[in-house]
Structures are given as C-alpha cells and as structure tokens.
C-alpha cells in the first residue's frame, strides 16, 4: 500500500509515460478505489501536473509541443543578435545561408 503522496507521484509518472490513463486503469493498477483516483487526479491537476479529462487524465504538455512564436520570440535574444551581427558582416552570404532561404541570390 502506498501513501497518498507516493501514489500521486507514481500516477504522474504513469501518465507521463503513457500520455494518458483512465480512472479505471489507474484504479486497477494502484489497487485503490476509483473515487481515490479521482481525488488524486483533481489534486494533481490543481498542482498543474496533469489535465483531467472525462474518465481519466492526460499529460499537461505533450513532449512534441511546439511553443507559439511569441513564446519563442523573446528567448535567446543575445544569441540571435550575435548571429545577426555575423551575418551582416559577410560580403557574400554563404551557400548554407542561401540554401536555408535567408538570402536570395
């Protein structure tokens, strides 16, 4: 038998490993009642560790999640400025840059 905190950590790990899980599946796997699983899922959702769905839960953020442009826009500003500076110093853009579509011949 697991303590509640141990069980919730294992539920989180289980859902992250499987992307999703049903209440019934978790109930059988952890040998607890479905109402216990529902309560655990509610608490885990409040902690922003997963998202409850009808009859179960899914990972909060998919591994293949691509952030929106505005989320990426502000990241790595110094690096982006350094790249821009280097590109501006080139007289003839390299073939790599032309092939990437950054410059047109």
Looking at the structure of the chain, the number of domains it has is: 2
Residue 10 CB burial class (10 angstroms; 0-12, 13-18, ≥19):
middle
End-to-end CA distance of the chain: give it in Å, rounded. 68
Is 17 inside a domain boundary?
yes
pLDDT at 56 (0 to 100): 95
Regarding predicted confidence, which is higher, 62 or 77? Answer: 77
Q: Check pLDDT > 50 for residue 41.
A: yes
Answer yes or no: do 55 and 28 share one domain: yes
* Band of residue 90 on the pLDDT scale cut at 50, 70, 90: low
Q: Which domain holds residue 85?
A: 76-105
Q: Check pLDDT > 80 for residue 63.
A: no
Answer yes or no: do 55 and 14 share one domain: yes
* Band of residue 61 on the pLDDT scale cut at 50, 70, 90: low
């Amino acid at each position: 038998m697991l303590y509640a905190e141990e069980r919730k950590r294992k539920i989180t790990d289980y859902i992250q490993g499987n992307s999703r899980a049903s209440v019934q599946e978790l109930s059988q796997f952890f040998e607890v009642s479905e109402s216990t699983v529902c309560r655990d899922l509610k608490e885990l959702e409040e902690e922003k560790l997963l998202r409850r769905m009808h009859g179960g839960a899914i990972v909060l953020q998919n591994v293949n999640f691509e952030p929106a442009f505005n989320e990426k826009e502000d990241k790595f500003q110094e690096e982006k400025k350094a790249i821009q500076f280097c590109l501006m110093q080139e007289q003839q853009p390299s073939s790599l840059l032309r092939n990437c579509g950054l410059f047109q011949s």
